Amino acid sequence: MLGIDRLTDIVKHYEELMGLLQEPDVASDTAKFQQLLKEQADLKPIVDVYMQHEKAVNDERDALDMLADENDAEMREMLKSELSAARAAKERTEGELKILLLPKDPNDEKNIFMEIRAGVGGDESALFAYDLYRMYTSYAAAKGWKTEIQSFNENGIGGFKEVVFMITGKGAYSRLKYESGVHRVQRVPETETGGRIHTSTATVAVMPEAEEVDVRIDPNDIKWDVFRASGNGGQCVNTTDSAVRLTHFPSGIVIHMQEEKSQLQNKEKAMRILRSRLYNMELEKKQSEEADLRRSQIGTGDRSEKIRTYNFPQGRVTDHRIKLTLYKIDQIIDGDLDELIDALITADQAAKLSKMDEMAG
């Protein structure tokens, strides 16, 4: 049963916002205008579907009324067809409205930090970590999002022991938040001469970018060490003490940053990552405390959860959370993730709707 009172309130508020956006004093206040414009844009999909739903309800009622008074066989068949179409539209829009009215994740529109670490499997797991990095950056490029490496640690043969990178773009977290967890690969490694299939793992963490208002960090809880950058930084990087190591005592988090030539830039990057890691730790803590809610979601935070297997000999990718197997491993590794992600979102929405129906019942 749809919350009609809630929907009519949303429509009323939407119309009020449309009126406010026309007022000269609001239009001249850029910050307020942008805030109201965003609010109006967020409500528009609900209002549009609600209008379609109301039309379907009216069409159903009109068809029933006309059928009651109609004796002509041909006209009755036409009215029955119209009634069937109206009922189908009513059912479809009811389903869409239920999903649109689900509580929004406040982090969905945020940029993200992704952290990929090699797991079990030595050099092969580091090569797999690189493959995952390439998969996500290719997906981001297809979406028109920007990616930027924050820090990395190579293994010497083209793999990553660890890489942290940022993805900037509208809805990045909403699409990629389900990727956190253990990814497993089964294939014959490039480092293997005997042709045997090995199983290796890499761990992915997806963290919404945290603003200063999201996380308060006491400067006294931080220790900074500065030193000369090492590795493939180029001559410029290595001539000054530009690299930094941030130690956050309460959490035990340690972040090394040397990708920028300026010590200040490296410090800023380290702080951004620290904020997001602390924010993500709070999210995970909250999810684990809300056990019922956690069970209704398709794993969005547990790094120890084995979520997906990439089996190269059989050409398949299996997501264990929703029991989905796709035989398109090459396309997926090249960044074609939409079918997987859409299925995860649909499963998550279905679980939340079921939970809401239970509570309503």
Whether the pLDDT of residue 236 is over 50: the answer is: no
pLDDT in the model for residue 299: 53
Using one digit for the tens of pLDDT, what is the confidence trace for 239-257? 567 889 999 999 999 999 8
Domains of the chain listed by start with CATH number? 4-100 (no CATH), 112-211+297-352 (3.30.70.1660), 219-283 (3.30.160.20)
Exposure b/e, 320-349, CB count within 10 A at least 16 = b: bbbeeebeebeebbebbbeebbebbbebbe
Residues 274-303: pLDDT tens digits? 999 999 888 888 777 665 544 444 554 455
Q: Residue range 40-64: average pLDDT? A: 92
Q: Which of 4-8, 58-62, 82-86, 173-177 has the lowest mean pLDDT?
A: 4-8
Q: What is the DSSP string of 108-153?
A: TTS-EEEEEEE-TTHHHHHHHHHHHHHHHHHHHHHHT-EEEEEEEE
**Distance from C-alpha of 303 to C-alpha of 292, rounded to nearest angstrom:** 19
The rounded percent of the chain whose pLDDT value lies above 70 is 89
Phi, psi dihedral angles at 359 (to 5 degrees): -65, -40
User: pTM for the complete prediction?
Assistant: 0.76
**pLDDT, average across residues 131-145:** 97
Quick one: pLDDT at residue 27?
81
| Crossing angle between the packed helical segments 30-69 and 73-100, to the nearest 10 degrees | 150
Task: State the Cα–Cα distance between residues 99 and 288, nearest whole angstrom.
Answer: 24
Higher pLDDT, 296 or 337: 337
pLDDT at position 235, please?
40
Query: Would you say residue 358 has pLDDT above 60?
Result: yes
Residues 6+ positions from 178 with CB-CB distance below 8 Å: 298, 299, 300, 307, 341, 344, 345, 348
Per-residue confidence (pLDDT) for residue 95, from 0 to 100 = 86
| 137: its two tokens | 């950056």
